[in-house]
A and B are shown apart, each in its own frame.
Chain A
Amino acid sequence: MDMRFLLALVAAATLFLSAHSFSAEAAAPPRTHVPRKSLEPFLEQYCIQCHGANKQRGQVRFDTIDWTITNNDTAQRWQDVLDQLNAGEMPPDDEPQPSNEQLSHALDSLTGALLKARQRLTDHGGEITMRRLNKREYANTIEALFGFQLAPDLIPDDGEAATFDTVGDEQYFTSSHFNQYLELGRNVAEFGFTWSARPHSTVTANRREPEERVTPALRKTLAELDEKMRMKEAGKTWQEMGFADEGAMKILFSQFESRAEKPRRYLDYPLVDSGIYMVDVTNESKRFGMNRGADPRASYRFRLRAGVVGDALDLRKFLLLSDNDGPVGVVKVKGTPEAPEIVELEVHAKAGHRVQSFHVEENRANIRVLDGYIRRLDPDGPWASIWLDWLEMEGPFYATEKPENPFARILYPSGPKQGRHPVDEADDRARKVIEDFAFEAFRRQAPAPEFVDGLLALFKQNRADGQNYVGAMTEVIAIILASPGFLYIQEIGETGDGNRTLSNRELAIRLAYFLWSAPPDEQLYAADLSDRNTLRLETNRLLDSPKAKAFYQGFSHQWADLKRFDAITVDETDLFRFNKGVRLSAAREVDAFFAELIRNNMPASNWIDSELVTINAVLAEHYGIPGVGSDNFVPVKLPADSPRGGLLGQTAFLTMGSNGERSSPVIRGALVMEKLLHDPPAPPPPNVPELGSASKTPRTNREMVEMHQHQAVCMSCHKKMDVIGFGLENFDTVGRWRETEKVGRKDVPIAPGGTLPNGAVFEDIQGLKDVLLQEQDHLARELIESLLAYGLGRTIEFSDATMVDSLLERLAPDNFRSRTMLHAIIADPIFRTK
């Protein structure tokens, strides 16, 4: 490897990069010291001969190298050294080689220093970049303005955010965004004219009897098959039997048994004339559904009556309920076909869906043929496990007595109107309508007069061109909804003269988007948030409102990095206890748990270990915990010896710590370091060769991962994360408890013990948790920084260290209780500063 060449390139590259740097005028350069004491002896022994005072191979010399990293050039120089060592390029093969231990030690200190340097160099000095409403916030903001919910697939996706979807610095805006927001704005306005001011409808229920769709059709199929068979036995020709050609006949009779078998088996069931058995004999017996028109301002009750057939396993007693956007819940069926019971689930309708749909199917692994699933799971179990009597959708159910939303108030000042056309339509009111609507859309910021003038001129032009009032006003509203005043959360400051203290209105908005992902309500706008007690009361009110679900979900899912969970494809043929219902519930468990911590103001350490889990019936089955019967998540106190409590025992966390086939101690360990220890491992270095290819002899997971320990380049990072991961090996790929692991054909006991680099020893999961609990202040720091990043809309940097330290210090005596932590963050000056 020609170092000179590389270095020349590096110089060229850095030149190029500095031409693109922005903050050249940053105050004092951040300084990171490369640990000289531990690195210099290494360099002197193995490197300085060729890269020192005498020789400067590749123009690299370590005798004059800068041991303090203050800029990207120096960082890049050290990065090259690290890359060379990691890739095993240096020292060259014909020179003396460092021992594994020496190399690992050198890599360790350099990797750490560079990680720190990178953090410091990307420090933006606490500046909050104005941010655009993300997808969740857009939907909630529209709901607050118009009173209806919007189908999620209508809203532009957020790009990939490395941290949170609230961080402005990580968002992009392109021409295609503008086109999409404008078009979406038109749709929203049209929905507004259709729905927002319409009087509420009365509640009705629609019911469907599934047997009507399934049983007669099956009887007909079977009768036709049997008739054909009788004709064949009577010696009829293919023409006489009504086939298109002889081939068609041959095919039918060659498949006769398989075609007739399932219908026959099905029709042997006793209650096929009053309900259906949920098996894959027809598409509708496998997955049955119904539709109805729906009001997007209201929710509907999905209701069904069903019973469990015979002695089905608990795992087979669940029905997966879906609406237009996918699964919405998993319900456990009780009762029997003879004495069925009713279960229901409330689901909100959404504008943009032509009809509201409701489907049910058995919640099971994605294995095409039901018999195949049963063969794996419960060979002697019944074919059908659930009998479905009927499905019903009832609604609409409204949250308020009559339509109450700014759009209706402004466009229809004299009250709700039937039909699409505003009776109050009056062109001479147009200016006021535009002003008032823009004011609400801009979160109570008066629009600039010239903007209103422009909109009014456009409105008048459209009217002059022959458009009706609704059409012309739809354009105006679309523009307001696509303009920066609506799309961006702007914080200008109290006095508007560069002072960075937020105004009361801006603070209300920041707080509402933090805890509701939605704009403030009347009470919050009116509250004097400079009063500490009011701020506290309002924070509590927001946290206890149903709207706070947006926070519990939005924060916890992104903090725990659940997009990794969403991206894992679990091999459900092999891991047939995993299914859509488990997936849906596993994600919800994370936010339900977080909500529980906030509700009861529990210490942050519960993320490491907790006396309780928050689970629904599906997860209760998955974890083997008795006593939970519904789809609602409830806190359940664990037995003292349960390994389950905390993030470490949650299915979503454990499954994303796998590759979908096997658990991955590496990923699990890295996640623990990042989320619970606030010690994210360095990103995987480039150019480190993969560990040896697949071995012919089957190995345990642990044995495979332990190969890292034999190579210095792997060891320096893996010695911690792998060992943590070993402690979690009693949880299988999808988070179920196991004592043994299948290796080849043998069941080998799990070995969950280990020694961490700091000398801490643990024997099992409980021991690992105890070790992690020693460092709960690290967890607290991670949570504080993440909550701040989410709430402020910026990443927390090195330059924030003092502020975070002081928060930590104040919260430590109270064990970093969760709600107290939120109050402290919100009361901190940082939260009212732009």
Chain B
Amino acid sequence: MTPFFTNSTTRRSFLRAGSSVLALPFLETFARAKAVTAAPPKRMIFLGGGFGFTKDTFYPENAGRFAEIGLTEGLSPLQRHLNDITMVSHLTNLGASDPHGGSCSYLTGANVAGTPGKRFHNSISCDQLAAQHLGLETRFASLSLSAHEPDGGQNSGHGNGLSLSWDESGKPIPGISKPVDLFHTLFAGPNDSRAELDARLKKTQSILDVVRLNGGSMKRILSKSDQEKLDEYFTGVRQVEQSLERQAKWADIPKPDAPFGSPEVGLTGEEEIHIMYDMIIAALQTDSTRVVSYRQPVCSVLAGMGIGLKAHSLSHYGFSEPRTLASRERDKKCSALFAHFIDRLKEAKDIDGSRLFDNCIVSYGTNLRSGHELKNLPAILSGGGAKEIRHGRHIKLPKQDTPLANYWLTLMQQAGIPLDTFSHSTGIIPELLG
């Protein structure tokens, strides 16, 4: 058990020492990279929807090249990217057991109800693991994006959590859920000057130092679970500090100027996804980050399509003919939005003039196939970042219930991350390669 409370000075000095050793050489690398246009870095993008797709009209039946087997109705908006997408069948998230549990274990693979003495416990998500390797040289180790939907994640099929991302101790990472907030995070603003940041850092640190002193009075005889709670609080406090320190380290390298105006406040649904996609592209182009997870809105997309049903109601589409039709329309809308993202990735130039698309590994999917089926979930892949993956195919894996964790592991390896295992993985997926 780590002590829930450490002397702030010690922790601070450790942080300072630790991060300066780590970060400075990378700053130089970054500066050099800009100058000599080295090979562009690999990026990973994880996009998550909620509550699956229509069984009979979305999923291809036969394996093979899409050019030969064609696209299903639900995938048809991806026609122009026929040779640049891969669909993988027979993947199952072995951790997931609750069809209403949604996206909370999509990137983690954890059985969230499987820890003795805990009703809910998650583990680190693969985007955060990827960020530990790919995020060292960028202003943001990763971006976790989400959507604010009025009735929470439950109705959109996302379940618990604040984004698709979960940290090392299995705590949810709050997603940036408003386009306008992402805009101000990414692009230069009046508060980003060195002096401003230094002042803010100094002020915040003095505040955090005082806050830490409030732990002392409680330190005495807290029970173990109370200590864990307090530890969670102080971890949050430390993260505030770390994020400021990272910002301060980057203060001499100006944030990129916004390529477009600040998004309107209150965008929802399709418009919201479009603007978030545009900003993801800008973040990657400016090398502000190399790892992105995005838990997408579902209900507001439906509302924007004039469908008066919540995502959960729609997932039980067999209930009536109009519902089934609405579900099929929703599928096409999701594919069209994904196709749009691929368009944008193909148009965007990377630092060496190549297509940004060629250096990205993009995954789109969710935990659930259809109805209450957790087996054989939807997994679509695009981007040229995984050099060993030849797109344009529907791959049916020989083994049903191949762990989704194997898929994430394969993708992470393709991004150059030296990991042999992730969550409940049993290996990589050789069928995906070559």
Interface residues of A (CB under 8 A from B): 1-2, 5-6, 8-10, 12-14, 16-17, 20-24, 26, 71-72, 76, 79, 87, 118, 121-125, 127-131, 159-160, 162, 168-170, 172-179, 182, 445, 447-448, 450-451, 453-455, 457-458, 461, 475, 479, 482-485, 487-488, 490, 492-493, 496-498, 566-567, 569, 571, 659-660, 683-694, 795, 834
Contacts and interface: CB of A to CB of B under 8 A. Distances in A.
Contacts of A688: 372
Nearest to B422: A16
Contacts of B375: 87, 686-687
Given A172-B232, A175-B237, A484-B215, A21 B115 contact: yes
Interface in B89-129: 94-100, 110-111, 113-121, 123
Given A20-B115, A482-B211, A692-B318, A175 B236 contact: yes
24 contacts: A6-B401, A8-B426, A14-B114, A16-B123, A21-B116, A76-B111, A127-B225, A159-B172, A160-B159, A174-B162, A175-B239, A447-B214, A454-B209, A454-B210, A479-B211, A484-B214, A492-B220, A567-B151, A685-B99, A686-B98, A686-B373, A687-B374, A689-B371, A693-B318
Contacts of A686: 96-99, 372-375
Contacts of B173: 174
A485 B110 CA distance: 33
B155 interface: yes
B240 A451 contact: no
B373 A687 contact: yes
B116 A129 contact: no
Contact of A450 (B216, B221, B320, B425): B216
Contacts of A689: 371, 373
Given A16-B424, A124-B118, 7 more contacts: A12-B426, A20-B121, A76-B114, A169-B225, A484-B211, A484-B215, A567-B154
B206 interface: yes
B308 A571 contact: yes
Contact of B98 (A12, A14, A683): A683
Given A484-B218, A684-B100, A479 B118 contact: no
Contacts of B172: 159, 172, 174
Contact of A451 (B217, B308, B400): B217
Given A169-B225, A178-B240, A479 B207 contact: yes
B318 A176 contact: no
Interface residues of B, number: 85
Nearest 9 pairs between A and B by C-beta?
A175-B239, A448-B217, A454-B210, A23-B117, A483-B214, A13-B424, A130-B226, A686-B374, A690-B371
Interface in B123-157: 123, 151-155
Interface stretch (B32-40, B64-72, B309-317, B378-386): B309-317
Contacts of A483: 211, 214
Contact of B120 (A121, A162, A177): A162
Nearest to B211: A483
Nearest to B403: A9
Interface of B: 94-100, 110-111, 113-121, 123, 151-155, 159-160, 162, 170-174, 206-207, 209-211, 213-218, 220-226, 228-230, 232-233, 236-237, 239-240, 243, 308-310, 313, 316, 318-321, 323-324, 370-375, 399-401, 403, 423-426
B221 to A, nearest CB: 5
Given A175-B243, A485-B214, A9 B401 contact: yes
User: Which residue, of B211, B218, B232, has the highest number of chain A Cβ atoms within 10 A?
Assistant: B211
User: Which residue, of B99, B119, B159, has the highest number of chain A Cβ atoms within 10 A?
Assistant: B119
Nearest to A487: B233
Contacts of B210: 451, 454-455, 457-458, 479
Given A127-B225, A687-B374, A13 B95 contact: yes
Nearest to A171: B229
Nearest to A686: B374
Contact of A174 (B170, B226, B236, B403): B236
B232 A9 contact: no
A21 B324 CA distance: 42
Nearest to A10: B94
B426 A498 contact: no
A555 to B, nearest CB: 20
B372 A685 contact: yes
Contacts of B318: 690-694
B113 to A, nearest CB: 7
Nearest to B155: A567
User: Which residue, of A483, A488, A498, has the highest number of chain B Cβ atoms within 10 A?
Assistant: A483
A169 B119 contact: yes
A687 B100 CA distance: 12
A689 B224 CA distance: 44
User: Which residue, of B96, B117, B237, has the highest number of chain A Cβ atoms within 10 A?
Assistant: B117
User: Which residue, of B225, B403, B423, has the highest number of chain A Cβ atoms within 10 A?
Assistant: B225
B111 A13 contact: yes
Contact of A178 (B215, B229, B237): B237
Contacts of A17: 110-111, 114-115
Nearest to A129: B225
A492 B218 contact: yes
A9 B94 contact: yes
B216 A182 contact: no
Nearest to A448: B217
Contact of A458 (B95, B115, B207): B207
B232 A173 contact: yes
B119 A173 contact: no
Nearest to A12: B424
Given A20-B170, A130-B226, A569 B310 contact: yes
Nearest to B369: A687
A133 to B, nearest CB: 13
A687 B400 CA distance: 13
Nearest to B228: A129
B229 A129 contact: yes
B117 A16 contact: no
A493 B221 contact: yes
B119 A122 contact: yes
B81 to A, nearest CB: 30
B244 to A, nearest CB: 10
B2 to A, nearest CB: 13
Contacts of A447: 214, 217
Contacts of A455: 210
Contacts of B97: 79, 686
A496 B117 contact: no
A232 to B, nearest CB: 37
Contacts of A692: 318
A125 B226 contact: no
A482 B236 CA distance: 12
User: Which residue, of A26, A129, A571, has the highest number of chain B Cβ atoms within 10 A?
Assistant: A129
Contacts of A172: 162, 171-172, 232
A72 B116 CA distance: 7
A124 B225 CA distance: 10
Given A127-B223, A686-B99, A451 B118 contact: no
A659 B424 contact: no
A691 B55 CA distance: 13
Nearest to A566: B151
Contacts of A693: 318, 324
A435 to B, nearest CB: 13
A14 B221 CA distance: 34
A781 B401 CA distance: 41
A173 B152 contact: no
Contacts of A169: 118-119, 225
Nearest to A79: B97
Nearest to B425: A12
Contacts of A179: 240
Contact of A2 (B115, B400, B426): B400
Given A451-B210, A689-B373, A2 B223 contact: no
A178 to B, nearest CB: 5
Contact of A496 (B98, B100, B220, B243): B220
Contacts of B239: 174-175
